[in-house]
Chains A and B, each alone.
Chain A
Amino acid sequence: MASKERAGGGEETSLSEDPGVADASLVAHIGPGDRESLEMLYRRHGPSLLALLTRILDDPQMAEEVVQDTFMAVWNGARFDGRSRVRTWLVAIAIRQAGSRRRRRRFPLASHTPDLASEAPGPEDAAVVRLDVDRLVREISQLTRFQREVVLLAFAEQLTHPEIAEVLGVRVGTVKSRLHGAKTALKRNWEQGETE
């Protein structure tokens, strides 16, 4: 976990070893073709982006594909204009790539109940997830994809309403409407659960 001392040599060598390097600096270095910066950016954001996409898409395999597409797009020159955080920019690329993947597949996304045990590295790792989290994950997966999207962007990514609107390419009013719909649906589920 310890970070390495910055060596006195060239800046490019030390860049990816320095955990304090800002995301924007990495993106700036990726432009001219610095693979180490891309690798660093991927290591910082790839895993959490994959987790977010897995839940939004409800499809682990497609989520992996979208993560690949996202970093491929970054490598191939997706432009970062500095108006948002790099993280928000990556999420926006990923959401667009996910839309593109869905259109290419030409069939609706499977709305399966996540099999956490089969996704985990081993059965022992699944146990802790099953204990408390399984039910919570199921509640989120019962929302529509649009509702899941805004809920996860709002709370897991902690984006503001305008940021969510920009990422999704919709109006702020639409974001509010979808969030309200998600809240109503979840409350309804909770009330039904209490009466059963």
Chain B
Amino acid sequence: MTSIEHLDDETLITIIITNDAASRGAAFHIDQCSICRHELEVWRRISDLAQVSVASVPPAGAELDEQVFGLLGGPERQDAALPTRRPVFRYLDRRRRARWLISVPLAVVAIILAVTIGSGSTAPSDALVLATIRNSPAAAATLTHHFTSETVLRAPPGYVAIEYHDHGADSPHSNAFEITSTEIEPDGPRINPTTIVSDGSFVYLPCEPGWRSIGQKPCVAYPAQGGAPGSLADLRTAHGPVVRLGERKVDGVETTGYGVAVSVSAMVDTLIPSERSLSEYDNATLSDVHMKVWSDSRGLARELDLTWLERQPNLPALLHGSETEQLSYSKAPLRVSVPNRSTVTFVPNVTAAINLENQYQNELSACSRMHTVCNG
């Protein structure tokens, strides 16, 4: 194939769908041909349009189910487990956990509404609600913030939905945090929970004895410049429109709900460059996050419900992310246990930590291919 014979639309579309230029024998051509690269980007943009367009259709109500089964005279609907999809949707690896160091601050924000919530007085204006939300990080700075969250990434047919169960705490005052995450793939291998801690100075990834196989100490840490998972700072990027959700009890506490959005691009802009490069590394594209915030009479968030759309670079499918998070607060200082420094390799930033992780994973893969046991 010469550079004059450009790739046709069908080939370009197939490359996008399969995410594989090499097997189409087109990787070199695309690399050399700016016209084909441009056309590929055009089709990629159209692919995004198509997927977002379909993914954004609101789900049908129960009425449609009833109509379908009513027409058939079939049995009354029963709640059933969500169907699992094949092939297995395994795009997440240990890197994913590291990426959540960016995502988690977004997810575990709390909103302090210093307004007359539930007092029966005139409802606050949108501007006041937003201003309060944006200024709220300072209001909780002396409280330890505890959270549990359930996150689900759903994909179109052909893939398996993945769940994350996280729990942890952080202290905005000291910047210390501890977060334990469990990844659940239906019918997938059991993945043990991982815990990441920070004393406010360094973030310590889970220790792994196998790291010795690449000449490293079993624990890795990097400077905690980006803030803790429980940081409320990201709420500074919240924006309208503000939606009033009414009142309801969360864990026995009366709350008032507001719907707002958090701008991902603005949030990424607030990250330090080393962590911003992490988002570039994974190259995931996220929509703005829609948040429902349920706050108690003191203005402390008791529940956050988040939804977003996500596109991973190695997947042709668009993902639906959702997360429900329960929050509580205490005045007790957060104490975390960090590894002995003699067992820790300190690296300059999170990107360097990820590079080490990749090196380790490659080593494991090589060992696996050679059917040998790699010892530290």
Footprint of B on A, CB under 8 Å? Answer: 1-4, 16-17, 19-20, 35-36, 38-40, 42-48, 50-52, 54-55, 60, 64, 67-68, 71-72, 75, 87, 116, 119-121, 123-133, 136-137, 139-141, 151-152, 154-156, 158, 160-161, 176, 179-180, 182-183, 186-187
Contacts and interface: CB of A to CB of B under 8 A. Distances in A.
Given A3-B81, A151-B46, 11 more contacts: A1-B152, A44-B83, A46-B68, A68-B71, A119-B57, A132-B288, A133-B287, A136-B48, A139-B49, A155-B316, A156-B51
B81 A136 contact: no
Contacts of B10: 161, 176
B80 A17 contact: yes
A20 B49 contact: no
A139 B58 CA distance: 18
Contacts of B59: 47, 121
B295 to A, nearest CB: 15
Contacts of B290: 124-125, 127-128, 131
Contacts of A120: 58
Interface of B: 9-10, 13-14, 16-17, 42-43, 45-61, 64-65, 67-69, 71-72, 74-75, 77, 80-84, 86, 152, 156-157, 161, 163, 186-187, 241, 243, 245, 257, 259, 261, 287-290, 292, 307-309, 316
Contacts of A55: 53-54, 57
Closest 3 CB pairs of A and B: A128-B290, A155-B50, A124-B259
A45 to B, nearest CB: 7
Given A124-B259, A131-B290, A133-B309, A3 B49 contact: no
Contact of B54 (A19, A51, A116): A51
A68 B68 contact: yes
A176 B9 contact: yes
A86 B357 CA distance: 40
A20 to B, nearest CB: 6
A126 B261 CA distance: 11
25 contacts: A1-B152, A19-B82, A35-B72, A35-B75, A44-B157, A45-B157, A52-B54, A67-B68, A68-B64, A68-B71, A87-B157, A119-B58, A124-B292, A128-B289, A133-B53, A133-B309, A136-B48, A137-B53, A137-B56, A155-B13, A155-B17, A156-B54, A160-B14, A176-B10, A179-B9
Contacts of A50: 57, 60, 64
Nearest to B317: A158
B83 A40 contact: yes
Secondary structure dominating the interface of B: mixed
A39 B69 CA distance: 8
B46 A116 contact: no
A3 B83 CA distance: 8
Contacts of B289: 128
Contacts of A67: 60, 64, 68
B9 A3 contact: no
A57 to B, nearest CB: 11
Contacts of A124: 243, 245, 257, 259, 290, 292
Contact of A75 (B17, B72, B287, B316): B72
A56 B83 CA distance: 25
Contact of A71 (B17, B72, B316): B72
A142 B261 CA distance: 27
Nearest to A69: B71
A50 B57 CA distance: 8
A165 to B, nearest CB: 11
Contact of A1 (B47, B156, B161, B308): B161
Contact of B60 (A64, A72, A176, A186): A64
A121 B49 contact: no
Contacts of A39: 69, 74-75, 77, 80
A167 B113 CA distance: 53
A125 B46 contact: no
A187 B81 contact: no
B3 to A, nearest CB: 21
B60 A47 contact: yes
B16 to A, nearest CB: 8
Nearest to A131: B288
A64 B56 CA distance: 16
Contacts of B55: 51
Contact of A3 (B46, B57, B152, B186): B186
Contacts of B48: 136
Nearest to A75: B72
Contacts of A51: 54-55, 57
B51 A131 contact: no
Nearest to B67: A68
